[in-house]
Structure 1
Amino acid sequence: MSANTSQTDNTLTVHDVEKIAILSRLAIDDSKATAYAESLNKILSLMQALQAIDTTDVEPLKSPFDHPQPLRDDIVAEPNRRDDYQAVAPATQDGLYLVPRVIE
C-alpha cells in the first residue's frame, strides 16, 4: 500500500496504481488508471473478506468431489515400434539410446 494510504482505509488510489505501474514497468493509459484502481480495490476487498473467514476446524480437501473420478481404460492404442526406431540409431543397448558423454 502507499504511504499516503491510512491504516483504516486500505484502498488503492490512482496515484498508487500509477506508482505500481512505474515499478512494474507497465505502460497504463491515464484514462484507465481509475478503472484499474477500482478493479484492484474490489480484489483487495474480496481478499480481506476471505481472510476474515474462520477455517480452524476445516479439513483441507484433496479433491472437491466425494467419489473418485472415473478414468478411461488404459488400452494400448499403438504397436510397440521401438526396434524399428532404434534400427536407425547409431548406438543402442538394452532398448536405450547410447549417446556420447558430455559432462566429465
Structure 2
Amino acid sequence: MSTETNEVVDPNEAPPATPHAADASVTLADVRHVAALANLQLTAEEEPRMQRDLNAILGHVAALAALDTTDVPPLAQVGQLLQRGPALAGSSLRPDQPKPSVDRAAVMHEAPDTDGRFFRVPKVIER
C-alpha cells in the first residue's frame, strides 16, 4: 500500500474501477481522488486513516443494504414519524411561524460588494 502524496490526481478523472461492486473497498487512489474533488490536501498519515474511515462507512452502508425491507412502507421524511405520536412530545420541533424578513435594500446597502441584486463574493475554488 503506497502513501505517496506526490501523485497528481485529476479531479475530473474517474477513480480506478473496482472489479466487483459487492467486494468494493476504498483504495488510496480513491481517497486521493475524493480529496482532490473536495479540494482537500491530506498528509501521508491522514490518507490511510481516511481510507479506513471510508471503508468503515461503506461497511455500515452494506449492512443497511443487506436488510430486508420488503414489508417496510416507504417514508418520505423522518418528521412524518415524529408527528404521529408521543415522539413529538417534548421534542424541540415546533410549528413554523412566518415572520417579516429583514429589509432587502438595507442588507444590500451594508454588503461590501453587490451587483445591485446579489452579493458578490471572492472566488474560493480555483481549478
Amino acid at match of 2:89: Q
Identify which range, 52-61 or 7-16, moves more after superposition: 52-61
- Computing the radius of gyration over CA atoms, which structure comes out larger, 1 or 2? 1
- The number of aligned residues is 72
Q: What are the superposed Cα offsets for residues 4-46 of structure 1, whole Å, 9 maximum, x if unpaired?
A: 4221421011121011111221111121100100110000010
Residue equivalent to 2:37: 23
Instruction: Say if 1:2 and 1:12, in contact at 8 Å, map to a contact too.
Output: no
Residue equivalent to 2:49: 35
Structure 2 vs 1, CA of residues 70 and 11 (structure 1 numbering), >3 Å: closer, same or farther?
closer
Give the RMSD, CA atoms, in angstroms.
2.9
TM-score for the superposition, normalised by structure 2: 0.46
Alpha-carbon offset, residue 3 of structure 1: 2.3
> Using the alignment, how far apart are the partners of 2:17 and 2:30 within structure 1?
9
- Unpaired runs of 5+ in structure 2? 1-13, 92-102, 104-127
> Using the alignment, how far apart are the partners of 1:70 and 1:13 within structure 2?
45
1:12 aligns with 2:31: no
Instruction: Say if 2:31 and 2:50, in contact at 8 Å, map to a contact too.
Output: yes
Instruction: Say if 2:27 and 2:51, in contact at 8 Å, map to a contact too.
Output: yes
Instruction: Say if 2:16 and 2:29, in contact at 8 Å, map to a contact too.
Output: no
Matched residue of 1:53: which SS?
coil
Alpha-carbon offset, residue 63 of structure 1: 2.5
* Structure showing greater relative contact order (alpha-carbon pairs closer than 8 Å, 6 or more residues apart): 2
